[in-house]
Amino acid sequence: MVLPALLAVLPPAVLDAAPAGLEEIVVTATRQPQPALETALSLSAIDADALRLVGSTHHAESLNRVPGVMIQRGSGQESLTAIRSPVLTGAGACGAFLFLENAVPIRPVGFCNVNELFEVNTEQARSIEVLRGPGTALYGSNAMHGTVNVLQPSASELPARAASLEAGPADYWRVEAAAAGGDEDAGYGVHGLYTDDGGWRDDAGYEEAKLNGTMSIRRDAATARFDLAATDLDQQTAGFIFGQGAYRSDELSEQNLNPEAFREAHAVRLAGLVEPAAEDDVAVEFRPYFRTSRMEFLQHFLVGKPLERNGQESLGLMSSAAWDATADTRLVSGLDLELARSFLVQEQDGPATDGPPAANAIRPAGLHYDYEVQSWVAAAYAHAEHRYGERWRVTGGLRAEAVGYDYDNRMLTGNTDENGVPCGPAGCLYSRPADRTDAFLNVAPKLGVSYVVQPGLVAYGNAGLGFRPPEITELYRLQRAQSVADLDSERLRSVELGLKASLERVAFDLAVFDMRKDEVILRESNGFNVSNGRTSHEGVEYDLRWRPLDDWQLVASGTYARHRYEFSRAVEGGESIRKGNDVDTAPRQLHRAAIGWSPGERTQIEAEWLVVGEYYLDAANAHRYPGHGLLNVRGRWQASSGWWIALRLTNALDRAYADRADFAFGDYRYFPGRGRALFAEVGWSRD
């Protein structure tokens, strides 16, 4: 019923248009380049031209162009993510999304971080692909609500030399550079940036450096590519402002009640793609990788303000083999392996004095947690694609993935202080389990069907299961009297119907989805981590791109969705979840409208209007944020001599808004949005 209804609203002129000459190419679904139109998935790509025009100072500015996506910007480079979901917070929030760089996960299974996208150079990427909902069988853990794949340029895609300088308000400046060389048999390249932002809020600046190197080698029919990524962030962090509507006050918005807060982080990743010469028409690829990261930050949002230090070293191998079983059938199978060592230390410098007496008493000075986890992952998958005639295409797959954790507590077991002294009859807040091992096995089937209605117009449907094992912090960073967290993997069942078109002057994507998530992990009112929550996620997404004239493009995209609790329970913080309520921080509406003008090949101008609908701030649905709309204007001009100039005006109407709104501990609290800001860039490049 949905497909005929969608077809009925399309004007005949659109359906009769000739197919477009070029089709968007994506790799996220199968790790191999393929036309986006052919995938029975909701998959969007932000190309290099759009990324250059946006010139993002934060990855939210690029990713929020995609329907169904809402990245809430925190202080500095921090963020919270929503992809076909509420904006998720807490220890396992990042586990609902898979973040990749060149098709390789940027963090090991069980050790994600809600802010981890700042470890990736999204600013200079070749493209960013976003897959909404569970993907194919080629990816497992964390590929639930969505997958973000940042594709870095190869040596042949980089300019021979390039450099630029950008400046903005509040002592903001950024320098970027790139260089490449080599020939068809061997190429090399490097690109990177350095940013120094004085911060528009008090004591809230940051310095950030990102560096990417790439090398490609070709020997006869065999190829290899190796990519290095390194990042470093030194940030002074600003916390919430308080009071209903506080974000509307210029004075309160610039206020930082936590000038002592900071975050220091660095990460290094090395990944390869080795493709031996095909034998017997079997294409084999190997993706070895090594990753390391360290982060230290003050948890200014907790009573006692403890310091956390965490880190990981991990290595792995992603392998696959693809072959044509028949003229119409293609098979892909593979094996993914990973080993990791991660650690976490939490320490409080002195007695807690910033909370009520009862809260201070259960938060002792000294070490709270000190543990190490050895983890492993082994996954096998099979994926098949079969064409029936000229119009039908069926894809299916199955993935089996086992994850194991070996936890080593390097402190006294229980909820005493570090010396074994109790905090009172109820014990201390922080509880440390005894050494233990945990293992999780997940099997996820996937099925997709597409039908070519006419050239350039495809209808599709898919069904699949996404999953994530519990995060290490959910299992071993316990509280109060809980000594064992008996958690299951979260599982998300998804069904989707859609329609895609790539025509002469019109391209569009329409999708209707229904997702049910079970074994949702949460912290109950007694402070115990449990995994028996349920949520539902239903909605419609659209993405329409129309080029009425060669120089003009009109874009309209967005989503209308409901994200609801499907259970009732009292939870941490005194909140009560009621079945049928909206999940907090889940706008039902997200929309984007944009006008682009390109009066010639060297000039781009864009005006975009972003709308975030109202949303509830608490599980009881008793407090709301009214939503907001923002206007951004951008322009870029490229001279024939290789020089370019870019101007970007964000929040052009100087609207008062909140990047993030919340209600907790009896008060409204916000991360205020920035007012009108103008950024200017000048650069030069030579191919």
What does the H/E/C string look like for 594-618?
Answer: EEEECCCCCEEEEEEEEEECCEECC
CA distances from 19 to 14, 24, 101, 453, 551 (A): 10, 13, 32, 12, 19
pLDDT beyond 80 at 619: yes
Question: Does residue 8 surpass a pLDDT of 70?
Answer: no
- Which residue is associated with the tokens 């990524």? 229
Residue 14 burial (CB count, 10 A): 16
Copy the structure tokens of residue 302.
Answer: 């907790």
- Please state, rounded to an integer, the average pLDDT across all residues of the chain: 93
C-alpha–C-alpha distance, residues 129 and 116, integer Å = 17
What is the pTM for the complete model shown?
0.94
**What pLDDT digit, counting tens, does each position of 245-273 carry?**
999 999 999 999 999 999 999 999 999 99
The pLDDT confidence band at residue 38, using thresholds 50, 70 and 90, is: confident
What residues pair up with 282 in beta bridges, in sequence order? 279, 323
- Cα separation of 169 and 167, whole Å? 7
Q: For residue 69, what are its two tokens?
A: 């996506």
- Give the gyration radius of the chain's Cα atoms: 25
Pick the more confident residue, 571 or 193.
193
Query: How far is Cα 232 from Cα 34, in angstroms, rounded to an integer?
Result: 34
Q: What angle do CA 472, 475, 477 make, to 5 degrees?
A: 85
Domain boundaries, the chain: 2-686
State the pLDDT at residue 25.
64
CA-closest candidate to residue 511, choices 494, 490, 536: 494
The span from the CA of 396 to the CA of 386, in Å, is: 9
| DSSP conformation class of 13 | H
d(CA 11, CA 540) in angstroms, rounded, equals 20
Q: Could you write out the DSSP letters of every residue in 406-417?
A: EEEE-S-SBSS-
Q: How far apart are CA 59 and CA 80, in angstroms?
A: 11
Is the pLDDT at 13 greater than 90? The verdict is no
DSSP single-letter state for residue 20: P
Mean pLDDT within 400-412: 98
Provide the pLDDT confidence category of residue 658 given band limits of 50, 70 and 90.
Answer: very high
Beta strands per DSSP E along 240-328: 241-242, 262-275, 282-298, 307-324
Segment holding 475, helix H or strand E: helix 472-476
**3-state SS record for 121-177:** CCCCCCEEEEEECCCCCCCCCCCCCEEEEEECCCHHHCCCEEEEEEEECCCEEEEEE
Count of all residues that appear for the chain in the document: 687
Of 261, 227, 25, nearest in space to 120 by CA: 227
Least confident of 29-33, 77-81, 553-557, 617-621: 29-33
Instruction: Give, for 559, the enclosing helix (H) or strand (E).
Output: strand 552-565
Q: How many CA atoms lie within 13 A of 509 on its CB side?
A: 25
pLDDT of residue 229 exceeding 90: yes
Which pLDDT band, with edges at 50, 70 and 90, does 21 fall under?
A: very low
pLDDT in tens, 582-595: 999 999 999 999 99
> What is the spatial distance between Cα 164 and Cα 179, in angstroms, rounded to a whole number?
12
Residue 471's contacts (CB-CB under 8 Å, 6 or more residues apart) are 91, 92, 94, 95, 110, 111, 112
Residue 357 tokens read as: 């007496």
End-to-end CA distance of the chain: 52
Decide which of 3.40.50.300, 2.60.40.10, 3.30.30.10, 2.40.170.20 is the CATH code for 2-686: 2.40.170.20
C-alpha distance from residue 450 to each of 394, 396, 541, 609 (Å): 7, 12, 18, 33
Helices (runs of H) and strands (runs of E) counted in the chain: 7, 40
Return the pLDDT at 135: 83
pLDDT at residue 26, rounded to an integer: 65
Higher model confidence: residue 601 or residue 287? 287
| Conformation bin of residue 305: beta by default, left when phi > 0, alpha when psi is -120 to 50 | left
**Confidence bin at 24 (pLDDT 50/70/90):** low
* pLDDT confidence bin for 86, thresholds 50/70/90: very high
Q: Residue 221's CB: how many other CB atoms inside 10 A?
A: 10
